[in-house]
Structure 1
Amino acid sequence: MIMNPNFNQRFFLIVLLASLTRIWSCSSETQTSASAIPPAKVANGVKESELTTVTLSPEAEQRLGIKTAAVEKRQLARRLRLGGEIVAIPGRRIFVTAPVAGVIVAPNGRLPQAGMRVRKGQAIFSLLPLPAERDLLGSPDEVVLKKMQFDVAQAKAQRAAQLLHDNAGSVKTKEEADTELLAAAAAFKAAEARLHLANSTVADSATLATATMALASPFDGVLQRINIAPRQTVAAGAELFEVVGQNTVWVRVPVYVGDLATIDEQQPAQIEAFGDASGVSQRIAKPVQGPPLSDANAASADLFFEMENSDGQFRVGEKVRVTLAQKNIAENLIVPFSAILYDIHGGTWVYTRMSPHTYTRQRVELHHVVDTLAVLARGPDSGTEVVITGAAEIFGTEFGGDK
């Protein structure tokens, strides 16, 4: 049987159309199912402006004590916070040395303690000068000799007095005899005192005054270090104790050399103790010309400031927090720091007043804080009213803590 060529062509076309239709329908179903699934699902969608707006009644606003202030744009000197160290003023940290070789004696038997406050001229120790070796061996003999000289001078003075009484002598002879007696008595007393100190551990004030020299503090300060003990023999020039003046101290501040040019070295610095969040220990230190010191390893140079410390609150060697004024003054958006709020992620916000009793929470970018002022890198326009008192209460009201 012979097939019709036209029939074969029609049959081929029908099969081709059927196949194309099937393919198109499958593609449409796939596109429909894909478009039916959204890329993201947002539940309870609310605009951000509506979420951060709080409207208070006049009574609630009064109860919360809401106060506002305008955002300012003005010039404000920047500050740089660094660490510093309390150091003694040059010349106010002295080691007292022994002027001659001798034996250390504690006045009245009481030992001074390191850390005690001392006054200028106050005796810390006494020094019994050591005689030459040949004299040291002959100390008892010296006492005997001085006693004999004293007895002879005493007898001579008595004879001169008797002769003057009998009108057989002159006043000049008696005065000369009395002078010799006083000199012999002083020499005998000093010899006895030296012998007594050489054989005892504690001496009375009279003995110390006659046989020793006082080692006194050169100025008011603190007895920082003691390198000796009573009855210790020291050589001439030995360091005995250290006195540090702390009524006025310096603060040494190492500054990174890259920041040194930005520091206004003519402005005073604020000094605070570490851990003092209340600012009770804050002091003002004036700049002084100190030695030009630097550290190549730390790439730093030292600045020095002078601070009053008569109450002894700061100690020499103590680390402190130092706030320095910088030269570059720029216009910035300024708000009181009490207006800044922090969320759980560390973000910073302020409440702006849109209309009476209506406040909107707006995100800001805090750059730094100077005293009680917050400097903003980004925030509301200048002149915008922001809440400076009661911002935390509005924040709590917004998230369910109504008053």
Structure 2
Amino acid sequence: MLKNILMYSVVGLTIVLSGCSDESTAAPAKRPLQPIDVAEVLIKPVQNWHTYTTRVESPEEVALMPRVSGVINNIAFKEGDVVNEGDLLIQLDNRPFKAVVTSLEAQVLSAKAALEQAKSEAQRAVRLSERKAISTEEVELRKSTLSQREAQVLALQAQLDAAMLDLEFSAIRSPINGVISNANITKGNNVIAGQSVLTSIVSNKKMYAYFDIDERTWNQSFSNITADSKQQVIMQKVGQTTFPYEGYINFIDNQINASTGTLRLRAVFENADNQLRAGSFARIKLAANAVTEQIIIPSKAIGTDLKNRFVLTVGENNILQYKLVELGERYGKLRAITSGLTKGDIIAVNGPARVGPGMPIQPNSVEIDSSGIAFTLRKDQAENLLAKY
């Protein structure tokens, strides 16, 4: 009996140990692979961009000063308003000028009357001399008097013309179309001709932007352009994230600045909506004329490793690989790659945000969206010149 009990105990223990051994040697379950968006790199014809800082300038600026001295009688403009050429801005007290004009008009009339008398006497002297009824000396004297009277009329007429100009200049008018500033001198104050600055006016229909290109860049990328080429540029103001203003180069200086090694250019921009103001700080982008094909990828696909830039590509068995790259120009949310990637490479679109090199992934194929991005400024290639650069 005892022998049977021992035998059953040994058998039971063997079964239990056998079950534990089977449990411990079972293969662990495989973890699911990380799903990652991947896309094939784009190949696009692109132009290199060059960015320059500038300040917006008005083509015409006037520091308004009076042409005659006097006392301000009326300020006829609204500060900060748009004015047109010929609009009355400031009226000086014109009574002194009117008095001078009236006086000279009377003097001119008197001189003209004296001239008519001198003409009559000179003609009479000629007739008398024909009959030998008057001496030659008397004839010459009357002719001389006539010449003096003619000169007197001309002199007084010139003084009258000047006085009438002074009277006209007492009404100070806008010399250009533009936007007027505030009045520096107000009603009741005396102003001095050619010295007192009354206000300022800047034209606003077009705006200029001067910028300097270094000699090397000019020779490499722009030496074949002229002002007649109307090379296109785009511009943004401080605080803007896009380059919404389109213009073109309308002036190229005639020599390189020997001190700085730069060439001065000027771009012109239409300003129909008055959004550009003189003195504004701005950035200009100019596209090189050469068009080349480059690899384009999303900026978020690029990782940083110390001083290096890298991209994760999809290799055999969907394992991510580390590739060093060199960056080119930025085009909106996309970036050109000058080396490190080749046509047909598949990249992790979102970069090393959740994955790293050597990691197997479950690829989810997507396309890189390049709609609305201008890679060139040539109209036959650009999809949208007003894209977000």
- TM-score normalised by structure 1 residue count: 0.53
After superposition, what is the alpha-carbon deviation per residue over 1:143-196, rounded to whole angstroms, capped at 9, x for unaligned? xxxxxxxxxxxxxxxxxxxxxxxxxxxxxxxxxxxxxxxxxxxxxxxxxxxxxx
Which ranges in structure 1 are unaligned for 5 or more consecutive residues?
1-54, 139-209
After superposition, what is the alpha-carbon deviation per residue over 1:228-257, rounded to whole angstroms, capped at 9, x for unaligned? 332222344445322001232011111122
The aligned residue for residue 384 of structure 1 is 345
Give the letter aligned to residue 259 of structure 1: T
Give the letter aligned to residue 96 of structure 1: L
Query: Aligned-residue CA RMSD in angstroms?
Result: 3.9
Contact 2:235 2:244 survives alignment (8 Å): yes
- The residue matched to 2:220 in structure 1 has which SS? coil
Aligned equivalent of 1:69, options 17, 24, 40: 40
Aligned equivalent of 1:217, options 165, 171, 174: 174
Counterpart Cα distance in 1 of 2:255 and 2:214: 13
Contact 1:70 1:384 survives alignment (8 Å): yes
Contact 1:290 1:304 survives alignment (8 Å): yes
Counterpart Cα distance in 2 of 1:82 and 1:357: 44
Residues 227 and 300 (structure 1), Cα distance of their counterparts in 2 relative to 1, 3 Å cut: farther
Q: Which of these two proteins has the greater Rg computed from alpha carbons? A: 1
Counterpart Cα distance in 2 of 1:324 and 1:84: 13
Residues 309 and 132 (structure 1), Cα distance of their counterparts in 2 relative to 1, 3 Å cut: closer
Q: CA deviation at 1:262?
A: 3.0
Is 1:87 matched up with 2:57? yes
Q: CA deviation at 1:85?
A: 2.1
Contact 1:69 1:387 survives alignment (8 Å): no
The aligned residue for residue 27 of structure 2 is none
Equivalent residues in 2 for 1:264-343, closer than 5 Å: 264=222, 265=225, 266=229, 267-276=231-240, 278-279=241-242, 282-289=244-251, 292=254, 295-343=257-305
Q: CA deviation at 1:290?
A: 5.8
Counterpart Cα distance in 2 of 1:243 and 1:132: 26
Aligned equivalent of 1:228, options 173, 182, 185: 185
Counterpart Cα distance in 1 of 2:322 and 2:31: 14
Contact 1:262 1:328 survives alignment (8 Å): no
Q: CA deviation at 1:126?
A: 1.7
Is 1:102 matched up with 2:67? no
Counterpart Cα distance in 2 of 1:392 and 1:128: 77
Aligned residues: 258
Is 1:261 matched up with 2:229? no
What is the percent sequence identity of the aligned residues? Answer: 19
Contact 1:85 1:317 survives alignment (8 Å): yes
- The residue matched to 2:185 in structure 1 has which SS? coil
Counterpart Cα distance in 1 of 2:293 and 2:303: 23
Contact 1:101 1:130 survives alignment (8 Å): no
- The residue matched to 1:131 in structure 2 has which SS? helix
Residues 95 and 367 (structure 1), Cα distance of their counterparts in 2 relative to 1, 3 Å cut: same
The aligned residue for residue 352 of structure 1 is 313
Residues 366 and 268 (structure 1), Cα distance of their counterparts in 2 relative to 1, 3 Å cut: same
The aligned residue for residue 126 of structure 1 is 91
- The residue matched to 2:354 in structure 1 has which SS? helix
Residues 258 and 291 (structure 1), Cα distance of their counterparts in 2 relative to 1, 3 Å cut: closer
Residues 96 and 263 (structure 1), Cα distance of their counterparts in 2 relative to 1, 3 Å cut: farther
- The residue matched to 2:179 in structure 1 has which SS? strand
Contact 1:270 1:323 survives alignment (8 Å): yes
Residues 292 and 234 (structure 1), Cα distance of their counterparts in 2 relative to 1, 3 Å cut: farther
- TM-score normalised by structure 2 residue count: 0.55
Residues 257 and 365 (structure 1), Cα distance of their counterparts in 2 relative to 1, 3 Å cut: closer
Give the letter aligned to residue 129 of structure 1: N
Q: CA deviation at 1:303?
A: 0.8
Q: CA deviation at 1:366?
A: 1.6
Counterpart Cα distance in 1 of 2:171 and 2:32: 81
